Amino acid sequence: MTPELKNDRFLKALLRQPVDQTPVWMMRQAGRYLPEYRAIRKVAGDFLSLCKNADLACEVTVQPLDRYELDAAILFSDILTIPDAMGCGLYFEAGEGPRFERPVRTREDIDALPVPPMADALDYVMHGVKTVRRELNGRVPLIGFSGSPWTLATYMIEGSSSKDYRYAKGLMYSDPGALHTLLDKLSTAVADYLNAQIAAGAQAVQIFDTWGGVLTEPAYREFSLSYMENIVRALVRESEGRQVPVILFTKGGGAWLEQMAATGCDALGLDWTVDLGQCRTRVGAQVALQGNLDPSVLFGSDDLVISEVERLVRSFGPHPGHIFNLGHGINQHVDPQRPATMIAAVQRISREIHSGSH
């Protein structure tokens, strides 16, 4: 028996339906800025072990909901689970970000990559989704997610994060066919992975295209957006009698919102470099918009946080279809009191706007 969803503001806003107040969540809301997260992390050992332990992953997923009035939970996991499941050997060097033991550099490497069924290969993720759903018991919806094919490909090809994407973009410009083969495999895997998460209980999904913004416009269309469009089309968009909305987030993709909206997704994530009001004017009611407070605003005073929230919420205006979020993950050095101030301001100001009193 699925418990009734007690707070569906987030899902409604994603579908451009009216809500009493703007829903809010934060990218990386389960994370190092919270002392209770750091305590669990110590118990779990390294980051990947925490991702793979469903009970502990569930605990850190729910922690920010116990502290703040958030309108959605997001499964604690990593965007690079798929390449790990394909055999690339994900590991983390302390303070260095993700690494792969076996980078994918050549057409032979790419042809040899398996695409295992993700419900099995990443069963710990599905187990995590089910555990969190049980624990949430209808409190708020749970977001599933994946990296985009292009973003996964950059890490797999470089073997780590990169400043210039020398190998990934080198392959794009020297052997685009090989890159397309890799992206084909990855989009199959991502669609399968997200559908498995939806089957396990994810009530909305987000595709993180963290590195789409390093491409030229034609390259973005050919090597990132078109594969995300394939995934959007392949997703099971309904579960438990409700629509399962899909959010696309290309960091640095502010110039391409119209093209992203045309994929058939329900919402676009925005980083902080674009003006929310202008973005809303550009896409109208075609998609919802999620974002886009500069995460560094949380280093400012409470007054500053409130005034920046006000500017942002008012710039979107009284339309339905805004989900308040940061423009990128919350910084680990933020004072945990600041998000409380931010969320209270979103609630107060958006209630005023939605009730028609300005």
Which of 93, 108, 241, 333 contacts its own copies by CB under 8 A?
Answer: 333
DSSP 51-120: HH-HHHHHHHHHHHHHHS--S-EE----TTHHHHHTT--EEEETTTEEEESS---SHHHHHH-----HHH
The minimum distance between CB 171 and its own copies, in angstroms, equals: 8
111 is known as an active-site residue? no
The minimum distance between CB 79 and its own copies, in angstroms, equals: 16
Torsions phi, psi for 74 (to 5 deg)? -130, 130
The minimum distance between CB 105 and its own copies, in angstroms, equals: 13
Counting contacts by CB under 8 A, is residue 255 touching its own copies? Answer: yes
Counting contacts by CB under 8 A, is residue 214 touching its own copies? Answer: yes
Counting contacts by CB under 8 A, is residue 193 touching its own copies? Answer: no
Counting contacts by CB under 8 A, is residue 301 touching its own copies? Answer: yes
- Separation between Cα atoms, residue 45 and residue 288, nearest integer Å: 38
Counting contacts by CB under 8 A, is residue 15 touching its own copies? Answer: no
Q: Return the number of the residue (162 or 243) whose C-beta is nearest its own copies.
A: 162
16 is known as an active-site residue? no
Q: Return the number of the residue (47 or 124) whose C-beta is nearest its own copies.
A: 47
The minimum distance between CB 128 and its own copies, in angstroms, equals: 27
32 is known as an active-site residue? yes
- Separation between Cα atoms, residue 114 and residue 121, nearest integer Å: 11
- Separation between Cα atoms, residue 68 and residue 341, nearest integer Å: 10
Cβ neighbors of 313 (< 8 A, separation 6 or more) are 22, 322, 324, 345, 346, 349, 350, 353
Amino acid at 72: A
Counting contacts by CB under 8 A, is residue 217 touching its own copies? Answer: yes
- Separation between Cα atoms, residue 18 and residue 330, nearest integer Å: 27
List the catalytic residue out of 8, 16, 37, 41: 41
The angle, 0 to 180 degrees and rounded to 10, between the axes of the packed helices 302-316 and 276-283 is: 20
Each residue 151-170 as x (binds its own copies by CB under 8 A) or -, in order, gives: -------------xxx--xx
- Separation between Cα atoms, residue 4 and residue 16, nearest integer Å: 21
Counting contacts by CB under 8 A, is residue 172 touching its own copies? Answer: yes
The minimum distance between CB 275 and its own copies, in angstroms, equals: 5
Q: Return the number of the residue (121 or 260) whose C-beta is nearest its own copies.
A: 260
Cβ neighbors of 260 (< 8 A, separation 6 or more) are 225, 228, 248, 250, 253, 268, 287
> Binding residues for its own copies, per CB under 8 A?
164-166, 169-170, 172-174, 213-219, 252, 254-255, 272-275, 294-297, 299-301, 304, 311, 331, 333
Question: What is the set of active-site residues?
Answer: 28, 32, 41, 78, 155
